[in-house]
Amino acid sequence: MGTESSKLSPLTALGWRDDGMPTCRIPRLRKREGRCYELALRGCLQAPEWELIHGECNGHNGTRIGHAWLEFDGEAYCPVLDECLPIPVFVSRLGATEHVRYTADEALFMKLRHWHMGPWEVR
């Protein structure tokens, strides 16, 4: 029964679902904290137009912590907060600094090469 309501929602624009949510979002997760590298990689592989960023941000107690997020079209998506913000707002709010950026292909290569979800950069 091919009704319109039974079809999957089309994308209104690359990177975004028709409900305004980013295509990289992994829905229905209860525990996100401590899983940024895993969730950001999964989101990047799910929506390869988004780039995977590994860097640092301010932790709960003010110390710098490693963090992973996604960027596309001037927006940053944090898989831990499950929130999408303009990049300047994201940087200001989280104190985020980028160390390295990966395309979906590069991220998949690094995951297979290192056998873990990240971070992969060498300092």
pLDDT in tens, 6-55: 344 454 456 766 766 787 888 877 898 889 999 999 999 999 999 999 99
Q: Which two tokens stand for residue 38?
A: 């895993």
Query: Which of 107, 110, 52 shows the shortest CA–CA distance to 79?
Result: 52
> How many residues appear in the chain?
123
Q: Which residue has the tokens 């029964």?
A: 1
Is residue 21 one of the residues assigned to a domain?
Answer: no
Q: How confident is the prediction for the chain on average, in pLDDT?
A: 85
Which structural domain range is residue 90 located in? 33-114
If DSSP codes are grouped into helix, strand and coil, which group holds residue 7?
coil
Overall average pLDDT of the 50-76 stretch: 94
Q: What is the pTM of this model?
A: 0.82
Is residue 25 one of the residues assigned to a domain?
Answer: no
| pLDDT of 95 strictly over 90 | yes
Is residue 122 one of the residues assigned to a domain?
Answer: no
Q: Which two tokens stand for residue 70?
A: 């996604």
Domains: count for the chain: 1
Is residue 2 one of the residues assigned to a domain?
Answer: no
Cα-based distances in Å from 47 to 1, 59, 70, 97? 29, 27, 10, 23
Is residue 71 one of the residues assigned to a domain?
Answer: yes
